[in-house]
Chain A
């Protein structure tokens, strides 16, 4: 099934935020701090304001008291929170911190204007390294907080002390999960238009979460929720980077009201790298309590999480997602994770594809290999020994989760079969005998999707939808989920076509506009299909139930005798006569021949509240060869078996998996967000932040197993993040396995040629 959203995209006639043109549109450009931490001793905007075409120039003092502070929905108990204003006050706290905004009639002039703003900074001591930041005597990111520690928090369950007492040995490993930049190809953009007559504000923004923006902006702008319309038009990739409420959204909204004209702001790539959220960034010391037979009794970690300078929407909550799934797909009865969350003079971290789960999966899967090697146990056997069996689901973890369903052994077996595991081992043996560095890595993962039950979410984990049979027989589906490339215009149409028995061409799926989809919790955490799709199923069930009553009336039979199948209503009383939707929709809206008490119309809306998360899982296997002379890693073979439950559109699932694996290839081999010791961002462009390119991608062998989830009517689990969660440890384990004959036990990511080359040479020298 080809995607219905594609024609407009491949013809170049889709509308992204920057494509919106409004009469009298003004253009905003933002001046950003070149310092990681500094006091602003003076700002002079007069030269900028005098430039021809400039409408206004504002600094923090002009707007901050009218824009409120940037919201954080994930604050932890007793967390120290710096005040996060739309523009900087008298200090800047990271490179890229917004200092001033110039608005002009032309974007080039607005850009010129910010160069004419004269700012004097007095540089202050900078905090860059999160580990050094918690030492006494460290400089302070926010001196007024008196500490760099945002919060400390302990997670886990089971008897951890007993586990470590009973252990035959304790395996220790430090693992650093590097900072990453999501880098959607479309930078962020905002257009705001205020309609003074109605007192309403329309905001087009490149966001994954228009409904969350609508919920949170009123608190910033003092405009009522029902006077605010948020539109996410075509959105050019998110990956979590657009799961946020950003300063620029409030700022543009404010400026449009203040200036009485629509205002557009489009982020440059440099701004995107510096001032849109980053991801990951954990330094963790792990200890694993093991028996000599490979039984893992407990897992401990002390994790330093680098939050950056501020709390964006979910910043502080991300490390806790790591703790929830840190024991992976294993029966590890005791877990203790101590989180020390730290402020540094860098951009905020937040939810980047996987959000906390990739950190967990990378850690536990690296640790499984380290443990296997230390104990001399086969890594496959070690994993199998610790799997819960398919019969043990729902499976309770030490972190307090209940994994809904799973068959980890089946996915592992299928991946080994697709990989030709034994032949691969033989190939490795032959390569090693010839002196080549050939490695095989695997990861068996489980992750958390379909976010989520409201009781476990910051604010509402349900999803809303509606299905309307139009008078013409066409079907309008509205979802509160906000797909931005995942393809739910197609997959939701498939669900409805299947449920209602109507041709897919007759269905339109609308989303991303709060005036059209009044309620929604949007798209993140692999939730759109599992939660949003389930709301659509509730709607189709309700529409069919209502239509049955009308059909019974028209057929003059009892309601409970009416069946519905393949778009046709008929009665057990008389099978001769059938009614299709076309026989019902006209009657439902013309409303001259309706049953007594029948409300006109054929539509339904629904909120689906999931009772639990879903827990997709799978096995990824990578084979790599490392060039001994250059340290270059080549991925020779890649096998992924993912179980996301039933697949509504297998081609879309494949696309999600492949895209996710590519993020991992980037993370393992190239990508790292780098700040120097002065807090200068060294990876502020595609020139310095290396995304994978087409030639970096191997040919995949993809497979799946299908274990339905019992927690939603579709049985689907979600697949948006699985690739990124499963692939990072598989590829990293393969590289370490390639280097194992040299004595390499662990290397931190990214495994760039330089890092690998250095490891080879250090170990070769040590071996001489």
Chain B
């Protein structure tokens, strides 16, 4: 039995009637056509599907879309504003924090969530904070550099 949902995605109100078993990640990808959020495992391990729900990083493959009813969601497509990359996106670009790019949207969203909770994390805190996200390309060092770049750059510019 389809169920109505009403939620905000990247600042825009969305209202749909959807199958209750639809995963949030498939709602974002297939209903909202926001394909930047990726599916890597469907078991909540790899983190490629990480988005922000009410400011907190969540794995959209282990949530039903109907559970997000009323939520304020932010996906990778909604991170840059007015044509300006978010500090974490900029950090990933500056520090070669990505190779194939598949884990990257989830990794960036997890990092945004991490920095919202801890503005100036140590390298160990960044590594620990990204424990829910797998990358098979970079070996993580450049990702840690990227998040560190964002944290220190953001502090310097007062953002």
Contacts and interface: CB of A to CB of B under 8 A. Distances in A.
B43 A235 contact: no
Interface in B77-119: 77, 79-80, 85, 89, 92-94, 96, 98-105, 108
Given A184-B136, A691-B134, A108 B19 contact: yes
Given A3-B96, A659-B137, A695-B131, A16 B142 contact: no
B93 A6 contact: yes
B101 A651 contact: no
A694 B103 contact: no
Nearest to B75: A12
B58 interface: no
B42 A108 contact: no
A13 B42 contact: no
Interface stretch (A480-488, A492-500, A568-576): A480-488
Contacts, number: 182
Given A9-B101, A269-B43, A686-B46, A693 B96 contact: no
B100 A484 contact: yes
Contacts of B105: 10, 12
Given A14-B101, A659-B137, A694 B144 contact: yes
Contacts of A266: 39
B59 interface: no
A268 B108 CA distance: 23
A438 B139 CA distance: 24
Contacts of B3: none
Nearest to A655: B96
Contacts of B108: 10
Contacts of A484: 100
A3 B94 CA distance: 9
Nearest to B88: A10
Contacts of B54: none
A640 to B, nearest CB: 11
Contacts of A19: 29, 35
Contacts of A184: 100, 102, 136
Interface string B119-136: 000011011101101111
B133 to A, nearest CB: 8
B40 to A, nearest CB: 5
Given A19-B35, A108-B22, A186-B102, A655 B45 contact: no
A658 interface: yes
A700 interface: yes
A235 B131 CA distance: 24
A186 B144 CA distance: 21
Q: In which size bucket is the chain B interface?
A: 35 or more
Contacts of A12: 34-37, 75-77, 79, 105
A693 B100 CA distance: 17
A245 B94 CA distance: 36
A132 to B, nearest CB: 32
B141 interface: yes
A137 interface: no
B85 to A, nearest CB: 7
Given A185-B136, A697-B140, A10 B93 contact: yes
Given A693-B131, A697-B139, A686 B45 contact: yes
A654 B100 contact: no
Contact of B130 (A2, A9, A14, A694): A694
A651 B94 CA distance: 10
A185 B123 CA distance: 24
A187 interface: yes
Nearest to B135: A185
A385 B135 CA distance: 40
The prevalent SS among residues of B at the interface is: loop
A565 to B, nearest CB: 31
A234 B36 CA distance: 12
Interface string A267-282: 0110000000000000
Given A7-B93, A694-B131, A16 B102 contact: yes
Contacts of A268: 42
B98 A695 contact: no
A54 to B, nearest CB: 16
Contacts of B35: 12, 15-16, 18-19
A237 interface: yes
A661 interface: yes
Contacts of A234: 100-102
B131 A686 contact: no
Nearest to A10: B89
A693 B143 CA distance: 11
Interface in A1-29: 2-3, 5-7, 9-16, 18-19, 21
B104 A10 contact: yes
B65 interface: no
Contacts of A406: none
Contacts of B16: none
Nearest to B142: A655
A684 to B, nearest CB: 10
Contact of B139 (A2, A14, A487, A658): A658
Nearest to A235: B100
B151 interface: no
A2 B94 contact: yes
Interface residues of A, number: 59
A185 B138 contact: no
A694 B137 CA distance: 12
B48 interface: yes
A269 B139 contact: no
B45 A236 contact: no
A175 to B, nearest CB: 25
Contact of A658 (B21, B39, B123, B142): B142
Contact of B85 (A10, A21, A658): A10
A110 interface: no
B93 A2 contact: yes
A583 interface: no
Interface in A706-729: 723
Nearest to A7: B93
Contacts of A723: 139
A661 B34 CA distance: 34
A687 interface: yes
Contact of A236 (B38, B42, B138): B38
B40 A185 contact: yes
A183 interface: yes
A185 B131 contact: no
A269 B40 contact: yes
Contacts of B99: 237, 485-487, 655, 659
B32 interface: no
Contact of A655 (B39, B124, B138): B138
A65 interface: no
A662 interface: yes
A13 B77 contact: yes
Contacts of A13: 36, 77
Nearest to B146: A10
B67 to A, nearest CB: 17
B138 to A, nearest CB: 5
B41 interface: yes
Contacts of B77: 11-13
Interface centre among B33, B123, B135, B141 (most CB of A within 10 A): B141
Contact of A237 (B75, B102, B131, B144): B102
A652 interface: yes
A185 B48 CA distance: 8
Interface in B38-75: 38-43, 45-46, 48, 75
Interface of A: 2-3, 5-7, 9-16, 18-19, 21, 107-108, 182-187, 234-239, 266, 268-269, 484-487, 651-652, 654-655, 658-663, 685-687, 691-695, 697, 699-700, 723
**What 5 pairs between A and B have smallest CB-CB spacing?**
A12-B36, A236-B102, A485-B100, A9-B101, A12-B76
25 contacts: A6-B93, A10-B89, A12-B34, A12-B36, A12-B79, A12-B105, A16-B38, A18-B29, A18-B38, A184-B102, A185-B38, A236-B100, A236-B101, A237-B102, A269-B43, A485-B98, A487-B99, A652-B96, A654-B142, A655-B137, A655-B139, A686-B43, A693-B130, A694-B135, A695-B128
